[in-house]
């Protein structure tokens, strides 16, 4: 017997919805998937707070998603909130508002849990001969997770993200080469501090918008470092309005795509691989498969 589940991922760059039928045997059939760029992580890196206009953008999207959830007559609805909300002084207020306004079991999850669920999403149906790495580049954080069918071997959630690093480094339009170099140096240094030199992985899967949009622009499923380097130089040379018109790129992702491709390149370098498979099986799928763990809301404390 299956249950119909709705999962919302309130990320730092986009707000995404998955509605799926989840079987007791671990099967999953997607019924609807949506993604809208809302930039919840706007200025969190500098202000330490979720901006009012960013929260209102998310609330507007959740109103639309709530209608879709109701139309599908789901058995359970869950929201996971990640880096931007973890980092923001008003993140707890925002999580409560999502729960109370929209009737969704909303949870701000720690980086370790985000990494675990990120790994489960794309690997639930894979049978790799050796350990595989999952790269999840978000707006405020990047998760690197390595494991096999039996156990997670390594995971880290880093303060590297497309919104965070665009705001931190890319101030010109198009970005100056020196700004892009500083961004890559910053990302490389963070990964060097958090990722062991020899992970011993045999393959990598890259999930979320940077990976799927890069695959769309390149017309491939496997993202190779030389192709990504060429794509990065192409995008970085274009002003924003021209970048919005690049075939295969969602115009709403154009402002952060230069940072995204740069981060993906540095992630591949950090784990010592030349390529990664792009996949849309991500944390949404991981949460859907393990949705029962999210249905009891965490205790709420006063004071």
Dihedral sign of CA atoms 36, 40, 45, 51 in order: positive
Cα–Cα dist 158/174, whole Å? 26
The CATH number of the domain holding residue 8 is 3.30.420.40
Burial bucket for residue 298 (CB in 10 Å: 0-12, 13-18, 19+)? exposed
Q: Helix, strand, or coil here: 19?
A: strand
Domain assignment present for residue 116? The answer is no
Does 161 lie in the same domain as 60?
Answer: no
Q: By the 8 A CB rule, do 26 and 124 touch?
A: yes
Which two structure tokens, joined as six digits, stand for 179?
């700004």
What is the pairing mode between strands 152-158 and 142-147? antiparallel
Nearest by Cα to 17 from 30, 27, 28, 29 = 30
The 76-81 sheet, strands edge to edge: 28-37, 14-23, 2-10, 76-81, 105-108
Same domain (yes/no): 234, 95: no
Secondary structure element (H or E) that encloses residue 279, with its range? strand 275-279
The rounded distance, in Å, linking the Cα atoms of 87 and 90 is 9
Residues 121, 130: Cα–Cα separation, whole Å: 18
Same domain, 6 and 107: yes
Q: Note the maximum CA span of the chain.
A: 56
Say which CATH number the domain at 223 has: 3.30.420.150
What total of structural domains would you count in the chain? 2
Query: d(Cα 289, Cα 27) in Å, to the nearest integer?
Result: 8
Please tell me whether residues 273 and 131 are part of one structural domain: yes
Q: Which domain holds residue 101?
A: 2-111
Residues 176 and 146 in one domain: yes
Residues 6+ apart with CB under 8 A from 168: 45, 183, 186
287 occurs within a structural domain: no
One pLDDT digit (tens) per residue for the chain, 303 residues: 789 999 999 988 899 999 999 998 888 999 999 999 999 988 888 899 999 999 999 999 999 999 999 999 999 999 999 888 988 999 999 999 999 999 999 999 987 888 888 888 888 777 777 889 999 998 888 989 998 876 788 888 898 999 999 999 999 999 999 999 999 999 999 999 999 988 888 899 999 889 999 999 999 999 999 999 999 999 999 999 999 999 999 999 999 999 999 999 999 999 999 999 999 888 899 999 988 777 654 334 332
Residue 59 lies in a domain: yes
Residue 137, preceding bond cis, omega within 30 degrees?
Answer: no
180 and 238 together in one domain: yes
| 238 and 134 part of one domain | yes
**Spatial CB neighbours of 1, under 8 Å, sequence gap ≥ 6:** 23, 24
Q: How many CA atoms lie less than 13 Å away from 269 in the CB half-sphere?
A: 17
CA distance 138 to 42: 13
| 267, two tokens | 């992630």
């Amino acid at each position: 017997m299956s249950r119909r589940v709705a999962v919302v991922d309130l990320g730092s760059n986009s707000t995404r919805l998955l509605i799926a039928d989840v079987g007791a045997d671990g099967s999953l059939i997607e019924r609807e998937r949506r993604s809208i760029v809302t930039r919840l992580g706007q200025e969190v890196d500098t202000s330490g707070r979720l901006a009012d206009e960013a929260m209102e953008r998310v609330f507007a999207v959740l109103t639309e998603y709530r209608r879709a959830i109701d139309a599908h007559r789901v058995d359970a609805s869950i929201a996971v909130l990640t880096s931007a909300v973890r980092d923001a002084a008003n993140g707890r207020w925002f999580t409560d508002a999502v729960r109370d306004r929209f009737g969704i079991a909303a949870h701000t999850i720690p980086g370790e849990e985000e990494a675990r669920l990120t790994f489960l999403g794309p690997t639930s149906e894979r049978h790799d001969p050796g350990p595989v790495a999952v790269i999840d580049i978000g707006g405020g954080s990047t998760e690197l997770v390595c494991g096999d069918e039996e156990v997670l071997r390594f995971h880290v959630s880093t303060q590297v993200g497309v919104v965070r690093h665009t705001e931190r480094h890319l101030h010109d339009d198009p970005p100056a080469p020196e700004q892009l170099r500083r961004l890559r140096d910053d990302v490389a240094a963070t990964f060097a501090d958090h990722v062991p030199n020899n992970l011993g992985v045999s393959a990598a899967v890259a999930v979320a918008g940077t990976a799927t949009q890069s695959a769309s622009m390149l017309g491939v499923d496997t993202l190779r470092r030389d192709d990504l380097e060429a794509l990065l130089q192409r995008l970085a040379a274009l002003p924003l309005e021209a970048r919005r018109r690049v075939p295969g790129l969602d115009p709403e992702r154009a402002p952060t795509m230069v940072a995204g491709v740069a981060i993906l390149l540095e992630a591949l370098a950090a784990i010592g691989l030349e390529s990664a498979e792009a996949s849309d099986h991500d944390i949404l799928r991981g949460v859907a498969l393990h949705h029962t763990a999210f249905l009891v809301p965490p205790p709420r404390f006063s004071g």
